[in-house]
Amino acid sequence: MMGLLNRIFGNKEQYESIDFGVFNTDMHSHLLPGIDDGSKNIEESIELIREMYSMGYRKIITTPHVMSDYYRNTPEIIKSKLDIVREELKRQNINITFEASAEYNLDDGFEPIISNGQLIPFGNNFILFELPFMQEPRNLQEIIFKMQTSGFKPILAHPERYEFWHRNFDKYEELKSKGVMLQLNLLSLTGYYNPNVKKIAERLVDSNLIDFVGTDCHRIDHLKVIQSYSNSKYFSNLAKCTELKNSSL
């Protein structure tokens, strides 16, 4: 445990702390109560949203998992939970815009969701999707093409976390050339996952390949770690980055 804390909190270069309000919108989180591995109940949902508001965020597009084997969330389930959270935010007079889409896993169940018109887009018809962590899916290019020809604009969640691409950095540039936008987890820049993920995350920022940043918040310690890095080099660089599209959402 101490090793993890030292890796996360120790030996970071000091810069002026950023206000996360510079991003305005967080578009990757798990804040709907009880439907995935994020917030467990409405009380935790409100706690996390309050904390994000205090960080400077004024809009949240939360993205519960949709996975055929684990989290079989439908638009109806997601909307019902969204309504519950919105009602509680109104009751507690928390003035933040709260919307919901999803983080779709590229598994066997994803293509039927596209075909059946069950996707929940956000912003300019954006769809956030993630890959299995073990290996690149064989049908990746096919699914990207299907999303695009169906009128959606795909955003790949946390590309820095797919270690099967760490020795093939050209893959990120190839995805961008095919119209896929890339979303970076702020946690990745803290070393929270592991040093290799941090290194690739930094390289993606340096290469100006990132379109969106997200907290990927599941619980309160994620936000605390992110805040502890508000005065780090790469957070400072992102705050100045004019290529990020978060504020347009």
Predicted confidence (pLDDT) per residue in 110-167, tens digit: 999 999 999 999 999 999 999 999 999 999 999 999 999 999 999 999 999 999 999 9
Q: Is 60 helix (H, G, I), strand (E, B) or coil?
A: strand
User: CA 191 to CA 189: how far, in whole Å?
Assistant: 6
Contact 234, 47 (CB under 8 A): no
Q: Where do the DSSP E strands lie in 57-196?
A: 59-62, 65-66, 97-100, 103-105, 126-130, 153-157, 181-185
Identify whether 167 is part of a domain.
Answer: yes
Sign, CA torsion 29/32/36/42: positive
pLDDT digits (tens, 9 = 90+) for 193-249: 999 999 999 999 999 999 999 999 999 999 999 999 999 999 999 999 999 999 999
Identify whether 15 is part of a domain.
Answer: no
Residue 194, domain CATH: 3.20.20.140
Task: Name every residue whose Cβ is closer than 8 Å to that of residue 103 and which is 6 or more positions away in sequence.
Answer: 28, 30, 63, 64, 65, 66, 128, 129, 130, 157
Domain hosting 77: range is: 23-240
Identify whether 2 is part of a domain.
Answer: no
Total domains in the chain come to 1
